[in-house]
Amino acid sequence: MTNVPELFGSMVFNDAVMQQRLPQDTYQRLRQTMKDGKHLDISIANEVAAAMKDWAVEKGATHFTHWFQPLTGVTAEKHDSFISTDKNGGVMMYFSGKELVKGESDASSFPSGGLRATFEARGYTAWDPTSYAFIKDNTLCIPTAFCSWGGEALDTKTPLLRSMETIDRQAMRILRLFGNNDVMHVRPTVGPEQEYFLVDKAVYEKRPDLIFTGRTLFGARPPKGQELDDHYYGTIKPRVAAFMAEVDEELWKLGIPDKTRHNEAAPAQHELAPIFSTANIAADYNQLTMEIIKKVARRHDLVCLLHEKPFEGVNGSGKHNNWSLSTDTGVNLFEPGDTPYQNAQFLLFLCAVVKAVDLYPEMLRISVATAGNDHRLGANEAPPAIISIFLGDELEEILDAIEGEKSYSAKEKTTMRIGVHTLPRFPKDTTDRNRTSPLAFTGNKFEFRSLGSSASISDVNTVLNTAVADVLCGFADRLESAGDFNAMLHQLICETIREHRRVIFNGNGYDQSWIAEAEKRGLPNLKDTPSALNHLLDEKNVALFERHKVLSRTELESRYEIMTENYIKVVRIEAETMLRMARQGIMPAVVRFKGETAESALRQRTFMANVDVTPETELLGTLSDYANELHSAVRDLEKELASAVSCRSITEKVKLYSGSVIPAMRRVRAAADALELICAKDVWPYPSYSDLLFSEE
């Protein structure tokens, strides 16, 4: 039996270890730095580094690394050993404060967009002391931010940390106005639910598309998918259960509070979720979680697929980003309170989210925009590409009553007055069941469901924090200068509901009628990554991020470039993989099967002149038709890909990939999938969807 409390955090240089191993005053000063985000004095850093090294070496570590999150979306590390030579030619284990707080890194091999040209190639990594150091693979990992020498963010963590400072500052202004004088800081809290697929390694290795692109580019639908609903929350199979148990152990060792695990809707699909943490720590944890589930799966001869849509026609994988705001005194600001004032404060924060989402839907959409997620959004298992917010009927009724148009209770016929009336208690469950909304209020937090399974959670939370902070800033400005606080509060809430209610939608987001309705309301529907990215540099977005010093125009431009290039690369790799599989695998198999069918008919005729070969003849006819279609579709894809590859302008190029290459790929797939269903199973060169989806047994 695993002793969980003993195991938990055993590989983390956490508060308990610090307290135990650092001199009292060093510990206190480090704690202060962590709390206020202040600069760490080098003498303190030296003491912390020495203690960290001793601890790590005792645990078997030989190396250390700054662990960071460049704009590739995955983590990066460069290991250095603790070894240092002494005068006598011997070695000793050494780690300095300088090495702890700052590392130099060659930035030129990481995506930097335009930043590489304008700034020095060198970058540096700087310790984020709010995220504990940990040991992974005998290496002490120091969570760091990654910047260019000029200070430009080259990673996803730096803007997230900046956005956390911003929302802290603005939310504190509001809290002070409500008389919360004991609160010192407000932090966003995040709990991401991670979905993934598991497939058998031997089957996986026969699919070049999975190996090169993470998703299947071919595959006819299996006769049985998820229609019987027998997988969701189903009994976990022994091999998967063993995998999950090992994942939990690995995560717990790293202090990651993994809590929930279950089967998801699709066959071979699963989910795990931790208990929530402060946003930047949650982002670190989620990166580690993705790394660990992939690694542990291999040990069980399984492969973990984190792609948003590994199988067409089967549910894709998302990462529900549960987000809230919490005070350092432990109060959740989205928890409706018991007194009229607590209620008013809750409603003001709620209104801030509604307004932020209505003002910056494009940025939220962009924060989840990848080539992979394009296949998932709007595909009837994930929210549409239209950003709206779900509050639930009950809460919307309350807002209506406050706005004064309708009465809250049919019986009482009263309108609600802020600061005077207490909110009725609404059961959490009723607000939790709308699974079709991109952003749902679930009783005491917001669940953003558009995020894809393979993405870092940093960008979405950077956008949420910054946009909400911006609105809170406007609210605070007005409240601070108001003569009558209560009157202004009431006015702000009414005004926000009136002006921004178009973004509230409690209906079925999967319903086709919502698309037309959303258009009437003037809500953007940015169907794919290129159309979303078109808005990244809109003046209002640049102004938002510059105003709060979260991202500069230059940093946003570099992100535009990186995201666009990434989209182009992904689609190009997919198209090339598809062409190889069609030309080298599928076409030869079809040609062979056609030949066999023709030969069989011919041989039978030779044997017996009047034998009925209708099945062979008809099969041959159908095979011929689809084979012709496949042949022509492949030629067409080659042509479209060639023009996209040779196009020089990045804005034109991305349009060619989304507008011509992707449709050409769809045509190739349709022909190949039709052929798969009429060819003998033993001639088909690749494992089928059934082989893949029911392989984890």
Q: Could you list the residues that contact ligand ADP (CB under 6 A)?
A: 189-191, 193, 273-276, 322-324, 332, 432, 444-445, 447
Residue 10 partner contact from Mg ion, ligand ADP, none using kind-dependent CB cut-offs of 5 to 8 Å: none
Contact of 45 with 142, CB cutoff 8 Å: no
Residue 616 partner contact from Mg ion, ligand ADP, none using kind-dependent CB cut-offs of 5 to 8 Å: none
CB of 260 to ligand ADP, least distance (A): 7
- Written as one string, the DSSP assignment of 577-635 is HHHHIIIIIIHHHHHHHHHHHHHHHHHHHHH-TT---HHHHHHHHHHHHHHHHHHHHHH
Nearest to 366 by CA among 564, 650, 102: 564
For ligand ADP, the closer CB: 271 or 673: 271
CB of 349 to ligand ADP, least distance (A): 13
What is the distance between the alpha carbons of residues 240 and 263, in angstroms, rounded to a whole number? 10
Indicate whether 445 belongs to the interface with Mg ion (CB under 5 A): no
Reduce the DSSP state of residue 68 to 3 states and report it: strand
Stretch that binds Mg ion, among 85-93, 316-324, 341-349, 634-642 (CB under 5 A): 316-324
Angle in degrees, 0-180, between the axes of helices 614-646 and 662-678, rounded to the nearest 10 = 160
CB of 550 to ligand ADP, least distance (A): 20
For ligand ADP, the closer CB: 49 or 354: 354
The residues near 583 (Cβ < 8 Å, ≥ 6 apart) are 634
Residue 273 partner contact from ligand ADP, Mg ion, none using kind-dependent CB cut-offs of 5 to 8 Å: ligand ADP
What is the distance between the alpha carbons of residues 448 and 318, in angstroms, rounded to a whole number? 10
Sign of the four-CA dihedral 244, 249, 255, 259: positive
What is the distance between the alpha carbons of residues 181 and 570, in angstroms, rounded to a whole number? 51
**Residue 182: how many other CB atoms lie within 10 Å:** 10
Minimal CB distance residue for Mg ion:
320
For ligand ADP, the closer CB: 148 or 324: 324
Minimal CB distance residue for ligand ADP:
191
Residue 143 partner contact from Mg ion, ligand ADP, none using kind-dependent CB cut-offs of 5 to 8 Å: none
Contact of 70 with 146, CB cutoff 8 Å: yes
Nearest to 18 by CA among 38, 3, 39, 33: 33
For Mg ion, the closer CB: 307 or 320: 320
Nearest to 246 by CA among 295, 200, 201, 281: 295
CB of 168 to ligand ADP, least distance (A): 16
Contact of 428 with 445, CB cutoff 8 Å: no
What is the distance between the alpha carbons of residues 126 and 120, in angstroms, rounded to a whole number? 17
Nearest to 149 by CA among 123, 125, 127, 126: 123
CB of 324 to Mg ion, least distance (A): 13
Residue 680 partner contact from Mg ion, ligand ADP, none using kind-dependent CB cut-offs of 5 to 8 Å: none
CB of 251 to ligand ADP, least distance (A): 13
Reduce the DSSP state of residue 548 to 3 states and report it: coil
What is the distance between the alpha carbons of residues 415 and 404, in angstroms, rounded to a whole number? 6
CB of 383 to Mg ion, least distance (A): 12
Residues in the interface with Mg ion (CB under 5 A) total 1
Residue 311 partner contact from Mg ion, ligand ADP, none using kind-dependent CB cut-offs of 5 to 8 Å: none
For ligand ADP, the closer CB: 57 or 236: 236
For ligand ADP, the closer CB: 194 or 577: 194
Residue 191 partner contact from ligand ADP, Mg ion, none using kind-dependent CB cut-offs of 5 to 8 Å: ligand ADP
For Mg ion, the closer CB: 194 or 558: 194
Backbone angles phi, psi at 229, to 5 degrees: 55, 35
For Mg ion, the closer CB: 2 or 260: 260
For ligand ADP, the closer CB: 212 or 426: 426
Indicate whether 320 belongs to the interface with Mg ion (CB under 5 A): yes
For ligand ADP, the closer CB: 82 or 323: 323
Residue 432 partner contact from ligand ADP, Mg ion, none using kind-dependent CB cut-offs of 5 to 8 Å: ligand ADP
Indicate whether 365 belongs to the interface with Mg ion (CB under 5 A): no
Site of interaction with Mg ion (CB under 5 A): 320
